[in-house]
């Protein structure tokens, strides 16, 4: 069964490390431990993490969230596309939409899909009988498609990420994956242009800045890369890989004190993550 690291969860679900940690501490998800005692998340954990955050933002009571997520977890497959389920709050209830049907997560009770119309002053309520027309793809759908296509059709994945940001200019994960995939393909100028556009749209996101720093290093722009890494750790001081890269660059520039400080921070973060 595939599992996901904290970094992969950050990238795929667009959750900060602090948010992931708070959801774990809140008891919403209990990830397994890897061989180095690092957290490893299952597909079910990803669904639960994303759902828990959405329900918390919708101000659903924590007790009801826990009850609903416990019931939801029993129904989730071991692996499936992240866009396979639509989970939302209706009042203070958690509703799961799966295909043509929707049901309460706690009771499993199915809810009727209803059309409501008024004709001649008379109210008509009719249950859906025919399949609804296919919905237009949302930004998250395009993002999920991009993830699925990266290994088999990178060019199509790039188009999917571009569609995602066209629909949602603040879809940080889509910007990150678009730029990273261009970089991996050797399209460095296009990748840098994407990262610049992304930073203009979403602001100084730590992972965007880190990825741009890696790109700038590959382009031989050491000074610009250093500034990107410094900005990244300012936004997220827990970004261990960024501290490591800063230590390496400072060492190459002969700034040993700076290098030692960031290398120490990197080691502390890695040791903490392994516990």
97 within a domain of the structure (yes/no):
yes
Domain that holds residue 269: 223-275
246 and 191, same domain (yes or no)? no
Q: Are 105 and 94 in contact (CB under 8 A)?
A: yes
Which pLDDT does position 198 carry in this prediction? 94
Name the 3-class secondary structure at 109.
Answer: coil
Q: Report yes or no on 1 lying in a domain.
A: no
Q: What is the pLDDT of residues 212-241, one digit of tens each?
A: 999 999 999 999 999 999 999 999 999 999
CATH code at position 66: 1.10.1660
Largest Cα separation within the chain, whole Å, is 83
All residues at 6 or more sequence positions from 44 whose CB lies less than 8 Å from its CB, including other chains: 73, 76, 78
Q: What pLDDT does 13 receive?
A: 67
pLDDT beneath 70, residues of the chain: 1-2, 12-15, 53-60, 62, 65, 69, 71-136, 273-275
- The domain boundary, picked from 102, 127, 152, lies at 127
CA dihedral 18, 272, 227, 180 (to 10 degrees): -70
Q: How many structural domains compose the chain?
A: 3
97: buried, middle or exposed (CB in 10 Å: 19+, 13-18, 0-12)? Answer: middle
Asked if residue 120 and residue 25 are part of one domain, the reply reads yes
DSSP secondary structure letter of residue 28? S
In a domain, 17, yes or no: yes
Q: What is the CATH number of the domain that holds 199?
A: 1.25.40.10
> Which pTM does this prediction carry?
0.53
Residue 140 and residue 145: Cα distance in Å, rounded?
Answer: 9
74 plus 22 within the same structural domain: yes
The CA angle 107-78-152, to the nearest 5 degrees, is 130
Q: CA 36 from chain center: how many Å? A: 24
Q: Are 194 and 231 in the same domain?
A: no
Final residue belonging to a domain, choices 151, 173, 203 = 203
215, part of any domain: no
Same domain, 166 and 260: no
Instruction: Looking at the structure, tell me whether residues 197 and 228 fall in a common domain.
Output: no
Inside any domain, residue 92: yes
Residue 110 lies in a domain: yes
For residue 144, CA distances in Å to 46, 82, 97, 147, 209 come to 13, 7, 17, 5, 23
Same domain, 86 and 177: no
Same domain, 233 and 194: no
Q: What is the pLDDT of residue 264?
A: 94
28 shares a domain with 116: yes
241 in the same domain as 172: no
Confidence (pLDDT) at 207: 92
217 belongs to a structural domain:
no
* 143, 119: one domain: no
Are 182 and 141 in the same domain?
Answer: yes
The reply to whether 260 falls in a domain is yes
Please say which residue of 99, 127, 155 terminates a domain.
127
């Amino acid at each position: 069964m595939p599992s996901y690291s904290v970094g992969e969860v950050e990238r795929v679900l667009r959750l900060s490390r602090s948010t992931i940690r708070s959801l774990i501490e809140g008891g919403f998800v209990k990830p397994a431990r890897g061989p180095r005692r690092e957290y490893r998340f299952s597909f079910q954990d990803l669904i639960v993490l994303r759902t828990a955050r959405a329900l918390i933002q919708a101000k659903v009571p924590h007790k009801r969230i826990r009850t609903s997520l416990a019931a939801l977890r029993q129904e989730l497959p071991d692996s499936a596309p992240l866009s396979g389920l639509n989970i939302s709050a209706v009042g203070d209830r958690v509703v799961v939409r799966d295909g043509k049907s929707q049901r309460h997560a706690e009771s499993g009770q199915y809810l009727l899909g209803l059309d409501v119309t008024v004709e001649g002053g008379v109210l008509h309520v009719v249950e859906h009988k025919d399949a609804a027309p296919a919905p237009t793809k949302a930004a998250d759908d395009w993002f999920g498609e991009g993830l699925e296509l990266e290994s088999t059709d990178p060019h199509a994945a790039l188009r999917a990420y571009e569609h995602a940001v066209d629909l949602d200019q603040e879809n940080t994960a889509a910007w990150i994956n678009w730029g990273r995939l261009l970089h991996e393909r050797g399209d460095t100028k296009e990748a840098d242009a994407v990262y610049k556009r992304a930073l203009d749209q979403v602001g100084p996101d730590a992972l965007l800045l880190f990825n741009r720093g890696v790109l700038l290093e590959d382009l031989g722009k050491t000074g610009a890369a250093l500034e990107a890494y410094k900005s990244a750790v300012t936004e997220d001081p827990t970004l261990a890989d960024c501290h490591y890269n800063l230590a390496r660059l400072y060492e190459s520039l002969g700034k040993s004190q700076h290098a030692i400080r960031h290398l120490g921070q990197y080691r502390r973060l890695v040791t903490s993550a392994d516990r």
